[in-house]
Structure 1
Amino acid sequence: MAKMKVDNVILPSHGSEKTFDVTITDNIVTSVRPSSAPHHCPSLLLPSLCHPHLHLDKAYLLTSNNPTYAHLAPKTGTFSEALTTTAQAKSLYTEDDLYLRGAQLLSTIYTQGATSARTFVEVDATTGTLPLTVARRLKREFAHLIEIQIVAFAQEPLFSKDDGEANRLVLEGVLASEAAADISVLGTTPYVEVDEHAMSENIHWAIETAIDKCLHLDFHLDYNLKPTGINQGQVMPWAFNVVTFLLTADWNTMNKDKTVVLGHCTQLSHANPRNLRHAAHRIRTHNLPIHFVGLPTSDLFMMGRDHYPKPRGTLPVMDFIREPYCLNACLGVNNVGNAFTPYGTGDPLTLASWGVGIYQAGTEKDAETLYGCVSWRARKAIGLASEQDEKEREETDVVEGMRWKPMLLVENKGAVEVPGPGSGDGVSGVMAFPARQRVSIRDVVWDPPEVNLRKVIR
């Protein structure tokens, strides 16, 4: 019988004044009791973090300092340049290089508190199956730490340009091979096709293939800031078309319990509210498992480069969650250390914290929602949350009888110590001050704790 105890922890659902001792036996919470010996700086116990959208094979292309990719450093920083240089990088991949960068990324997100991740790996005529082969190895080696979903991902066209058919054949071959056992998701990028007809073919093929293979579906979509509507010069977001396509394909019946994620969708940041309400109503009425994933770190870096003044746009995640839309939405990091997002560590808590400013979401309730966007809402988006798990995690509660899943322990230091003023003999003393305590979700989102204060409890 495996038994574990976590003592003197704050459970957010019970407020910050009480502390508890939690006992877990054979992965079941068997006891939640008031702390027997409360400490003046208790730890905070929270649901662990989740990456709903993370490119595994492209991580650290710029920040690994691998000379192989040195000539691909951004010159203009544009999206088209990032597409071009990243495509060039793919032809230079080696198994050892892919493994090292992937392992570095997964190790880092675990120390940050993530225990689940949807990871994209590109499969096309250039890369072949090499990134997928490495991803499968990493999935096995990190299985004890992170629940990894692999997305067989088409960044390149499937129905246009010279290599569209070749790309599609490679992807179809992978989905029919023994490697398919490790693939949970099919992902495509319709906007890289040359015209609307090819984009429509891309989406229809992806929906039909996901249904045939019983896979989750993930689209990179509407990555622009074009005016929305039906008048001249305006373009209706493809996200609205996806709703229609899914209903026509009878997704809920044909691919039960599989989610559909729409990533980026920056165009929706200024969609007509009436059109958006209509689309949201259709999604809710038909109970479509559509989840929107906002990716602000890359969106805000890329959008508006060809205009002056320079507009910025990212999916309005907080507005989508609130009334009148009441949609499923969360936050993802997308890229780390490459031309699409050359800055940042990929820390989900930092992303949630930035969300306070990006979405002007400054209340305590907003902080809880933003934490959920990088935790239980993200897990729900990628299909890793059961109904019981959703309820437990949304309430951030720990109750007797529930299944134990990895949790994030945020530790509190008793004091902050800094060198004191030097004395006459040149020897410095130490000045010590009581450390600020993080005792609620608000504290963690507004002021993310250092990584060394985070610990995953499995």
Structure 2
Amino acid sequence: MDLLIKQARLNDGEDLQDVAVEKGRITQIAPVIEGDAKEVIEAAGRVLIPGLVESHIHLDKALIADREPNKSGTLKEAIEVTAKLKPTFTEEDVYQRAKQALEMIIRRGATTVRTHSEFDPAQGFTGFNMIMKLKEEYKDRIDMQVVAFPQEGIFKAPGTEKMMYEAMDMGADVVGGIPYNDAPANDHIDLIFEIAKKYDKDIDLHQDFADEADDTSIEYLCKKTIQEGYEGRVSVGHLTALHAMPKERLDRVISQMAKAKINVMPLPATDLHLGARGDECNVRRAVTPIRKLRDAGVNVCLATNNIRNAFTPYGNGDLMQIAMLAIPVGHLGGADDLPTVLPMITENPAKALNLQDYGLAVGKKADMVLLDTKVKANAIIDIPERAYVIKNGRITVKVDTTVTLSQ
């Protein structure tokens, strides 16, 4: 064996298990596995989970909050501030910041990441090129899906449509879009599908990021997804406008989303920060209705979005903290709700990203995290240390901590 993890807890109420790894794959799971291994991890009853999946992040514009602050805290100013800064980014600047952010999420247990990388005629492919470079450089430590993302819109930023095709030819994995920041939104969606079908790629949209539900395109997106046979291949981030829909309409929209198998990435750290800035009393949470989506069978995935920029001026890349934040925000702390949260940063995003070899099972890729907690039910609320991170059967992160309380 290349690696043997001894006496790990895979599920509460079950016997501890040994997990054997050879050539990057899980080859055996049993109460006791005999034999020699090149490396042995003594789990001692600690919880073993599959690698965390960061399903929506912007590595190329991380760690710039100190350059031009978003003083109003609004989405409008966040977009304006970032648009002003982007032409000043150099390749080395993007590379160093994105690398730092990437190592932050690896350190905290992410073994797969989907990052939106933007471009436009003003900045060209400066950031996109560096993200593609990092994808190759870090392939042994994290799998990266790169989304071709037109932050400034397509029709409102002439020249971007051509760049979308160029980005796909340069190796982008997913076609991104932002209907709410372009006009008309439905035409934007149509073009995204046209590109995605040409390259046979999945779609990931920044969708209906607004405090109100007056001008949404999610209904059209559902219809288009089914019409094009793209069920299960379309993901949306934010979708905050749903929180403002009256119940009858909301139920109808969520039903359409479930039928179209739309994956939803709530982004609580960003959406709480930017949302409902105009409310003077009874300030709304302005986060998409996580429980209602979950209960309707929609695949819900919690994600980070941004780290320390105009959209989110804080964060350290820890998906566990994002999930912990979502618990009170989404009313997910009940006895029946809490067990559904860990899958929102593991199995659910793995499904959304179409990861075929994911999970703790024989034959799957050995992407795992050993948590410094012995109760799986507490895996989120403990926000435990990631004692070991394992990628393709290789230990990529090891954390030794000793805490002594004085008497």
- Give the equivalent residue in structure 2 for 1:402: 363
Aligned mates of 1:36, 1:43 — CA distance in 2: 17
Is 1:10 the counterpart of 2:6 in the alignment? no
Alpha-carbon shift at residue 35 of structure 1 (Å): 4.6
Is 1:212 the counterpart of 2:203 in the alignment? no
Aligned residue type for 2:198: D
| Maintained 8 Å contact 1:364/1:442 | no
Deviations 1:263-303 (A, max 9, x none): 11101113233333333434444xx3410110111011101
Is 1:341 the counterpart of 2:312 in the alignment? yes
Aligned residue type for 2:280: Y
CA gap 1:102/1:352 in 2 versus in 1, 3 angstroms: same
Pairs aligned (count): 385
Work out the percentage of aligned pairs sharing the same amino acid: 26
- Structure 2 matches for 1:225-264, cutoff 5 A? 225-226=211-212, 228=213, 235=214, 237-251=216-230, 259-264=233-238
- Give the equivalent residue in structure 2 for 1:383: 354
TM-score, L = length of structure 1: 0.79
Alpha-carbon shift at residue 36 of structure 1 (Å): 7.8
TM-score, L = length of structure 2: 0.88
- Give the equivalent residue in structure 2 for 1:277: 251
User: Which residue, 42, 51, 56 being the options, matches 1:53?
Assistant: 56
| Maintained 8 Å contact 2:5/2:42 | no
Alpha-carbon shift at residue 404 of structure 1 (Å): 3.4
| Maintained 8 Å contact 1:123/1:132 | yes
User: Which residue, 121, 127, 130 being the options, matches 1:125?
Assistant: 121
- Structure 2 matches for 1:82-97, cutoff 5 A? 82-97=78-93
CA gap 1:238/1:8 in 2 versus in 1, 3 angstroms: same
Alpha-carbon shift at residue 172 of structure 1 (Å): 2.8
Q: Whose radius of gyration is greater, 1 or 2?
A: 1
Between 39-48 and 326-335, report the one with greater CA deviation. 39-48
- Structure 2 matches for 1:105-254, cutoff 5 A? 105-160=101-156, 164-175=157-168, 177=169, 179=170, 182-193=171-182, 195=183, 198-226=184-212, 228=213, 235=214, 237-251=216-230
Deviations 1:173-226 (A, max 9, x none): 333x4x1xx211111111112x5xx21211111111111121111111111121
Alpha-carbon shift at residue 329 of structure 1 (Å): 1.3
- Give the equivalent residue in structure 1 for 2:37: none
Deviations 1:33-69 (A, max 9, x none): 3258998953211111011100011111125xxxxx3
The runs of 5 or more residues in structure 1 that have no matched partner are 64-68, 229-234, 253-257, 412-437
CA gap 1:104/1:16 in 2 versus in 1, 3 angstroms: farther
Alpha-carbon shift at residue 29 of structure 1 (Å): 3.4
Deviations 1:225-283 (A, max 9, x none): 21x4xxxxxx263111111122333435xxxxx71011111011132333333334344
User: Which residue, 385, 388, 392 being the options, matches 1:450?
Assistant: 385
| Maintained 8 Å contact 1:151/1:185 | yes
Aligned mates of 2:293, 2:245 — CA distance in 1: 12
| Maintained 8 Å contact 1:349/1:448 | yes
Aligned residue type for 1:264: H
SS in 1 for 2:219: helix
CA gap 1:107/1:157 in 2 versus in 1, 3 angstroms: same
Aligned residue type for 2:380: V
Aligned mates of 2:225, 2:163 — CA distance in 1: 25
CA gap 1:449/1:240 in 2 versus in 1, 3 angstroms: same
Is 1:79 the counterpart of 2:75 in the alignment? yes
Aligned mates of 1:40, 1:184 — CA distance in 2: 36
Aligned residue type for 1:43: R
Aligned mates of 2:42, 2:237 — CA distance in 1: 43
Aligned mates of 1:369, 1:343 — CA distance in 2: 26
Alpha-carbon shift at residue 30 of structure 1 (Å): 3.4
User: Which residue, 270, 295, 299 being the options, matches 2:267?
Assistant: 295
Aligned residue type for 1:54: I
Aligned residue type for 2:225: L
- Structure 2 matches for 1:19-38, cutoff 5 A? 19-35=16-32
- Give the equivalent residue in structure 2 for 1:417: none
| Maintained 8 Å contact 1:124/1:171 | no
Aligned residue type for 2:318: D
CA gap 1:456/1:39 in 2 versus in 1, 3 angstroms: closer
CA gap 1:245/1:31 in 2 versus in 1, 3 angstroms: closer
- Give the equivalent residue in structure 1 for 2:297: 326
SS in 2 for 1:331: coil
